[in-house]
Structure 1
Amino acid sequence: MKKLIFSVVSVVFSLVALGQQENLSNSTKPVHSEEPPVDGYVKKTDIENRKVIPYSAIRQTDIAYSKRVWREIDLREKMNKAFTSPKSRLIDIIISAVMSGELTAYDPTPTANDPNGDSFRNVLPADQVMARFGGDSVLVEEFNENNEVVSSRYESRTFSGDNVIKFRIKEDWIFDKQRSVFEPRIIGIAPLITPQIPGMDSNAGILPAAGGTTGGSGDPFDPFAVQQDQTSEETPVEQIAAPAPVQDQNAFVPAVDPTPAFWIYFPEARHILVNKEVVNRNNDATGLSYDDVFIKRMFASYIVKESNPEDLRIKDYIGDGVDRLYESERIKKSLMDYEQDLWSY
């Protein structure tokens, strides 16, 4: 019996020693391994091996209250900076999963069977996903010494997620009377893009610079542009003293709101996000995944729409941007007040 116990203990210690030798950072002598060394002293396997924790089952008869809201997450806010980290950018994770077939992208275009475009009815093919971000290829032309095109070819365009600065999420706030829990559950998530409309002036709404020009330097090929090589002796006094023209603040400036590029079904995306670590500014050992961030509501957002009989967005009945934020906070407070009014203290 003692021999058997000694053999088992010896095997265990041998396996432990063998496991430590595979990590070059823990070795006491140079070891040549076919695999690259571990980037650090431990290998983070807790995120890679995680599984999605399912939601609690809810019966329709147990739902005493339900409210659907649409939110927007602005990645330029300080609390949402983790979504834009080059080490683990959210849009890169989603695009990679869609292109590899792990996630299904849904077309946000309103149709007869999907009036709002966010009901996950129409599948968007993977080859059309990159087209929503400006195309997956670019035409490259070669010129000769006479500035003539001699050849042209298409090259793959590298996707950059820097242009995606907002996400829209659709969620339901549900009160389960069986469990006495009032909780939100995200249904879908969509990256927002700003459409590029041909013919729209990109400098619309920008005040001209001093001297009446919109740019800092004159165009040498424009005979009517003010050149920068003019000296003070050649410039009339009246032209120097004349104030710069100011654009009318009430003038109409065309504005295009960001629109969803595609929709992702969040319960499906959880199986991808649960294995993607979120970069923390203060601690590298937090062990938080993107699934944890969304489930624990560790992001800043504002409401852009709530379910209503007229199917109106906040911007459809409120024009001022500040008043829209006040309306968003009012809707948030109404959700919190519903839960607080359920209990007596």
Structure 2
Amino acid sequence: MKKIIFSLVAVSCSLASFAQQENLSNSTKPIHAEEPPVDGYVAKSDIENRKVIPYAAIRQTDIAYSKRVWREIDLREKMNKAFASPKSRLIDIIIAAVMNGELTAYDPTPTENDPNGDSFKNILPADQVMARFGGDSVLVEEFNENNEVISSRYESRSFSGENVIKFRIKEDWIFDKQRSIFEPRIVGIAPLIVPQIPGADMGSSVTASSGEGQSANFDPFDPFAVQPEQRSQEVAQQDVPVATPTFDTGFVPSVDPTPAFWIYFPEARHILVNKEVVNRNNDATGLSYDDVFIKRMFASYIVKESNPEDLRIKDLLSDGVERLYESERIKKALMDYEQDLWSY
């Protein structure tokens, strides 16, 4: 009996040692494996094998209160640095999924059937997605010793998500009276880009330079400003060289970031659930991008709430600080609604 037990123990130990040799980091002798070795001592497979946990079902008759808000996530804030990490950048994940056909991009251009451009009505083809970020190819020209173009060709341009620093989120705050829960549910996500407008850097101010080297600025839109023609007639009577107006290019109009395309969040969850988020303090986070959005682990500010006039906060307030105050007021109003439902 003892021999049988000893033989079983010996066989189990040999099997355990054989199983450990599959991971080169735990091997005791050099092994030439056909597959690349594990980058570390443990292969992270929990994130790759995760499945989306569905939301609880809500009936329309159980919705006692609903409010739609639009908010923006600024990746320059400290709490949102993980979204812009080169190891796992959010925009790179979305672009790769769209180009591979795993996600559908929707056109944000307002149309008759979609006045705001965020109702997921018009599909944006995958070949036009890269055009929103400046095109997917660049013209490369070759010159000779005389600085003459001898040949030209198009080369594919590698996409860089460093220029995307903001995301817009559309979400619904719903109170389910059947479950007595007031919760937000994200509907869509859109990366924001600053559109390049040709000629937007041209200035509108004019500088008049005199023959003696002196310059005088005047505003062409000011009805009380002395115009160059009137100034030249006055100077001509005094035998002084006429001032020559030149345009100053210092004026640059500000263009607000706009959505490049919209992604339907329930569809994107199946992609984000298998993408790990980088943590500054701990590499073994076990959190995916789906967890970050569901658990609300990001900083944001509200830019619009549903209203009869369909106005944004910037349409009502021009000062940036006042807009932030209004954003916090809307957040507090949502929280106060939930607190006022209960009495003790």
Normalised by the size of structure 1, how large is the TM-score?
Answer: 0.82
The question of whether the paired residues in 2 share the 8 Å contact of 1:75 and 1:83 is answered with yes
Secondary structure at 1:334's aligned position in 2? helix
Counterpart AA for 2:129: V
How far off is 1:302 after superposition?
A: 0.2
Normalised by the size of structure 2, how large is the TM-score?
Answer: 0.83
How far off is 1:200 after superposition?
A: 1.7
Alignment-derived partner of residue 152 in structure 2: 152
Structure 2 CA distance for partners of 1:120 and 1:12, relative to 1, 3 Å: farther
The question of whether the paired residues in 2 share the 8 Å contact of 1:190 and 1:261 is answered with yes
Counterpart AA for 1:29: K
Alignment-derived partner of residue 311 in structure 1: 310
The question of whether the paired residues in 2 share the 8 Å contact of 1:91 and 1:161 is answered with yes
Counterpart AA for 1:316: D
Alignment-derived partner of residue 228 in structure 2: none
The question of whether the paired residues in 2 share the 8 Å contact of 1:204 and 1:254 is answered with no
Secondary structure at 2:323's aligned position in 1? helix
The separation in 1 between residues aligned to 2:6 and 2:110, in whole angstroms, is 71
Counterpart AA for 2:296: R
How far off is 1:147 after superposition?
A: 1.3
Alignment-derived partner of residue 22 in structure 1: 22
Q: Counterparts of 1:167-178 in structure 2 under 5 Å? A: 167-178=167-178
The separation in 1 between residues aligned to 2:289 and 2:12, in whole angstroms, is 36
The separation in 1 between residues aligned to 2:265 and 2:341, in whole angstroms, is 29
The separation in 1 between residues aligned to 2:269 and 2:10, in whole angstroms, is 42
Secondary structure at 1:61's aligned position in 2? helix
Structure 2 CA distance for partners of 1:12 and 1:72, relative to 1, 3 Å: farther
Percent identity, aligned pairs only, is 87
The question of whether the paired residues in 1 share the 8 Å contact of 2:129 and 2:261 is answered with yes
The separation in 2 between residues aligned to 1:8 and 1:167, in whole angstroms, is 60
Counterpart AA for 1:262: F
What is the root-mean-square deviation of aligned Cα atoms in Å? 2.5
Alignment-derived partner of residue 86 in structure 2: 86
Q: Deviations over 1:266-321 (max 9, x none)?
A: 00000000000000000001111000000000000000000000000100111111
Secondary structure at 1:197's aligned position in 2? coil
How far off is 1:90 after superposition?
A: 0.3
Q: Counterparts of 1:61-72 in structure 2 under 5 Å? A: 61-72=61-72
The separation in 1 between residues aligned to 2:45 and 2:5, in whole angstroms, is 31
Count of aligned positions: 302
Unaligned residue ranges in structure 1 (runs of 5+) = 206-246
How far off is 1:17 after superposition?
A: 3.7
The question of whether the paired residues in 2 share the 8 Å contact of 1:166 and 1:192 is answered with yes
The separation in 1 between residues aligned to 2:179 and 2:327, in whole angstroms, is 28
State whether structure 2 residue 275 is matched by structure 1 residue 276: yes
Alignment-derived partner of residue 301 in structure 2: 302
The separation in 1 between residues aligned to 2:122 and 2:9, in whole angstroms, is 59
User: Where is the strand percentage greater, Structure 1 or Structure 2?
Assistant: 2
The question of whether the paired residues in 1 share the 8 Å contact of 2:302 and 2:327 is answered with yes
Secondary structure at 2:339's aligned position in 1? helix
Counterpart AA for 1:33: A
State whether structure 2 residue 216 is matched by structure 1 residue 180: no
The question of whether the paired residues in 1 share the 8 Å contact of 2:74 and 2:80 is answered with yes
Secondary structure at 2:310's aligned position in 1? coil
The question of whether the paired residues in 2 share the 8 Å contact of 1:204 and 1:253 is answered with no
The separation in 1 between residues aligned to 2:323 and 2:16, in whole angstroms, is 60
Counterpart AA for 2:178: Q
The separation in 2 between residues aligned to 1:182 and 1:65, in whole angstroms, is 9
Alignment-derived partner of residue 119 in structure 2: 119
Alignment-derived partner of residue 166 in structure 1: 166
The separation in 1 between residues aligned to 2:164 and 2:41, in whole angstroms, is 35
State whether structure 2 residue 285 is matched by structure 1 residue 286: yes
Alignment-derived partner of residue 106 in structure 1: 106
Alignment-derived partner of residue 54 in structure 1: 54
Larger radius of gyration: 2
Counterpart AA for 1:255: S
